[in-house]
Structure 1
Amino acid sequence: MQEFKKTKSAYSGFVLGILFLQLYSQNKRTDRSKKKLIAETVTYLFLNYSKLRGQDVEQEVFYNLGRMYQQLGVMYLAEYYYKKVFKVHNELLEKYPEIMSLNREAAYNLHIIYKNSGNFVAARKVLMEHIVI
């Protein structure tokens, strides 16, 4: 954390956020106050990462924020950010959609969220709209 405070780089914030997210997921026996503190730290690091990244990688940022919220169990925010992934359009995505686009990954994760909540119609709709084989 001290290195992140010195550098304020997007990469160090992202890596630290992932480490804390892993710590949050591993400790089932940790008391609630510590888990809450870890979740707040993860959120801070990921939101800071999102501010420091450029607008060209907006889709990546939205996907990572959706993934973080999904791991934390905040499904309505995960859904919000996964849906924002679909709305991002830029030059790189248009030029290299097979390499750069995260639409399929976001659609699959959104499908899992809907499926786990029992909304099978929405889960199927997301798959049919965004994942074509």
Structure 2
Amino acid sequence: MRHEQPASVPIKLLLGHYHALNEHWQQALEEYTECFKEAPDEPLVPLCTGTALLHFAMSRKVPSRDRAVKQAFAFLNCYTRLKQAPQENAYNLGRACHQLGLNTLAVKYYEKALACKVVVPGEVGQPASEALENRRFCDLRRETAHNLSLIYCNSGAPNLARAVLRQYGTI
């Protein structure tokens, strides 16, 4: 399919995902950067590129770990600029910091994600037209609370971890 439609961004994304699943980060990055050249305003592309760069930075084959991390955060910041979803943006940046072991920064972003007001579609007092606009709803409070509790437990604050899970992790 790639040979039949060489300029197709969805096909390049799928190939990038295929390489990422097989942990061939350099090939995945080649596909994602091709996509970024073709569709720089599509938020999924810099998110995938930044994530692949983070994984590549954590591998043994990376020639310059610092450069890969800087590039990853550049793409993730591009993603946050394109995607107007404050909770999702804060969660993704917190997750990236968490993966790299930058726990102080991760806590900052996770707390920011937990502080975001989430509007549930069809909530009482919400106009019907607004509920239709928000139908693609995603609340990341539980995932954020889980990751934050892991950081708190590993830093020796199990009571704080329990309090976060009790407040945000329950149904």
Normalised by the length of structure 1, the TM-score is 0.82
Where do 5+ consecutive residues of structure 2 fail to align? 1-32, 124-133
Alignment of 1:71 onto 2:103: no
Structural mapping, 1:32-111, within 5 Å: 34-54=64-84, 57-92=85-120, 95=123, 100-111=138-149
Higher helix share: 1
Following superposition, the deviation at residue 11 of structure 1 comes to 1.2
Contact 1:46 1:65 in 2 (8 A): yes
Instruction: Give the equivalent residue in structure 2 for 1:19.
Output: 52
In structure 1, how many angstroms separate the alpha carbons of the residues matched to 2:168 and 2:122? 16
Higher relative contact order (CA 8 A, sep 6+): 1
1:7 maps to 39
Residues 93 and 100 in structure 1, CA contact (< 8 A), matched pair in contact too: no
Number of matched pairs:
126
Take 1:84 and 1:94, find their aligned partners in 2: how far apart are those partners? 25
Gaps of 5+ in 1: none
Give the Å deviation of 1:26.
Answer: 2.5
> What one-letter code is carried by the residue in structure 2 that aligns with 1:123?
A
Identical columns (%)? 29
What is the TM-score normalised by the length of structure 2?
0.66
Residues 93 and 130 (structure 1), Cα distance of their counterparts in 2 relative to 1, 3 Å cut: farther
Q: How far apart in 2 are the matches of 1:20 and 1:7?
A: 18
Contact 2:43 2:82 in 1 (8 A): yes
Larger CA deviation: 87-96 vs 64-73: 87-96
Match of 2:152 among 106, 111, 114: 114
- In 1: Cα distance, 2:110 partner to 2:91 partner: 6
Aligned counterparts of 1:125 and 1:91: Cα–Cα separation in 2: 23
Alignment root-mean-square deviation, CA:
2.2
What is the CA distance between 1:91 and its match in structure 2? 3.2
Q: Which amino acid aligns with 1:4?
A: F
